[in-house]
Chains A and B, each alone.
Chain A
């Protein structure tokens, strides 16, 4: 079950799609600021015409970033379903104008944020986040620990997926594959054991002091 679901895990790139468009080259901070301004505009601009205009802006950004249309639409299917259900509900409750505005606003933000994510490698985004989190060192959150934790977490995800598969196999062998306790308790205990071993290994190497 885990094999088939692993396709999004194509490595440290995350949901980034490589390219050299102006949006790929723009600094992370500028893209995040633009996204925040768009979010503000979506809240402030009322009416279906304004909402559609903002959706056009987001779609134009996706075009400038040369997003592959097919993959983008596939990724949007769950949101489109939500937007359609929402539009139907709002049409019934408050009329057509409100239905268009609310569902289009939702699509606008999802498309625009998807463009920022697709044009920014996850590690650059995390660097930006680490810089933004630097003031938090005054409350005991050290930037170096943050970087180490991110690396450690990304390494641990595939290992835990494997653990979950092993635990599931073991439960199935005992005829307990529908017993959540037989699935979760061993997985969680092995997770904690793994974390403690990792902590000891980090300490032995002088990391994370």
Chain B
């Protein structure tokens, strides 16, 4: 997080393929960026906590109200990029495991490790990292198409990590056979599609308000 972007093997391919801006102040931006990075990571960790704590929001036309925890997780990944996004989610998990009531229904502490839903929590940082990585592709498309790329980014985090790991751990902890576990876990997918559409819309609005958030990805 503290090093200049061009020293990172992971990020070096991206600037070369990006628009013509990168080299200007890459080093200076990285140095002045560290405090902003810490603030962004901490603020988004708090944002995820608030998303998990707030009463679920009613959505017109859908009987089941949706909770926003995975919305916050994937938004952190999409907006902050792979490393800072995963760091924000990791910070959120660390604070929750240490005993602050920041998980859904104001729970917290090590007891969540024992709960069948722990797999979803483990998957969150990975999902944020993948979503952040894929969302970087939104730089190359026209602004009108960005929400679609961002939606794809959020969906990839959901489908590659959150649901498979969550379902696997739930099936293992509850001693379910794979079919039953998948059926139980699949009930969350429709809600996730809606939340990921919201991620795309909200992230596109953030990138319109702060265009450099899309240029500088870490």
Q: Which residues of A contact B (CB under 8 A)?
A: 1-2, 5, 8-9, 14-16, 32, 35, 39, 78-79, 82, 86, 89-90, 93-94, 98, 102, 106, 108-114, 116-118, 120-122, 125-126, 129, 140-142, 145-146, 148-150, 152-154, 156-157, 159-161, 164, 178-181, 183-185, 188-189, 191-196, 198-200, 202-203, 207-209
Determine if B47 is an interface residue (Cβ-Cβ < 8 Å).
yes
Determine if B49 is an interface residue (Cβ-Cβ < 8 Å).
yes
Kindly list chain A residues whose C-beta atoms are within 8 Å of the C-beta of B206.
188-189, 192
Contact at B102–A157, with CB atoms within 8 Å?
Answer: yes
Complex Cα gap A82–B102 (Å): 20
Kindly list chain B residues whose C-beta atoms are within 8 Å of the C-beta of A208.
34-35, 38-39
Cβ of A40 to closest chain B Cβ, rounded Å: 13
Contact residue range for chain B? 35 or more
Residue in A closest to B102 when the chains form the complex, CB atoms: A157
Determine if B193 is an interface residue (Cβ-Cβ < 8 Å).
no
Of B19-27, B112-120, B127-135, B152-160, the one touching chain A: B112-120
Determine if B173 is an interface residue (Cβ-Cβ < 8 Å).
yes
A-side interface mostly: helix
Residue in A113, A178, A192, A199 whose beta carbon sits within 8 Å of that of B114 in the complex: A113
Which residue of A32, A90, A113, A188 has the most chain B CB atoms within 10 A of its CB atom? A188
Residue in B closest to A205 when the chains form the complex, CB atoms: B35
Contact at A9–B101, with CB atoms within 8 Å?
Answer: yes
Contact at A90–B175, with CB atoms within 8 Å?
Answer: yes
Chain A-chain B contacts (Cβ-Cβ < 8 Å), number = 219
Contact at A1–B55, with CB atoms within 8 Å?
Answer: yes
Complex Cα gap A152–B147 (Å): 30
Contact at B40–A110, with CB atoms within 8 Å?
Answer: no
Contact at B110–A188, with CB atoms within 8 Å?
Answer: no
Complex Cα gap A189–B116 (Å): 34
Residue in B closest to A9 when the chains form the complex, CB atoms: B101
- Interface code B82-115, partner A: CB below 8 Å = 1, 0 otherwise? 0000010001101101111110011111111111
Complex Cα gap A113–B201 (Å): 39
Determine if B174 is an interface residue (Cβ-Cβ < 8 Å).
yes
A153-B43, A191-B47 known; A5 vs B38 contact (CB < 8 Å): no
Contact at A160–B46, with CB atoms within 8 Å?
Answer: yes
Kindly list chain A residues whose C-beta atoms are within 8 Å of the C-beta of B189.
none
Residue in B49, B59, B115 whose beta carbon sits within 8 Å of that of A153 in the complex: B49
